[in-house]
Structure 1
């Protein structure tokens, strides 16, 4: 399994990246939405952890653009955020997200959203 972790804060990429790698999967880190879209148009990923609040392109805009790519329909996209409130969750689904992972994370929560269980 290949997982792309997109977050402008390096610490927020480090922990999930380590847990994913220790689980035997491939973790690729990306610091912003523009770079993420470049990677997504050139490479295949099974899951994307996508921060919502980033400079430049927001996670919501990246998700919308990803879903328009030929390889963007089958990938599982997880909103990776510290600012999720119940009213916003419905909007995230409408934007194309499959699930929400709220920071700070636990290993159990990360594994659950990555595997879809």
Structure 2
């Protein structure tokens, strides 16, 4: 047997791991970790926004709170579906949702006369 028989075409011994494979596995692990962190952040932030949205019954009428809770739930589904592919964008969804809720309450207070 020749001394190069147990080497691949790049001259690396056959029993050594392929660096491209290791880099790919490390990238997969990093994506899984970022998705897990994004998921936990989304659940915490979105839950907090939902709690405040539900408490709006003290300021806004029931129909408005119901509409805002539906918007909140749809945003939560969107954020959860985006957590693996776009974790940064998914983590911004609860913040945007909070802005929408606060904007709706401000408009309702100014234009529709909602008050506590």
Q: TM-score, normalization: structure 1?
A: 0.24
Whose relative contact order is higher, 1 or 2, with alpha carbons under 8 Å and at least 6 apart?
2
User: Which one has a larger percent strand, Structure 1 or Structure 2?
Assistant: 1
TM-score (structure 2 length as normaliser): 0.24
Over alpha carbons, which structure has the higher Rg?
Answer: 2
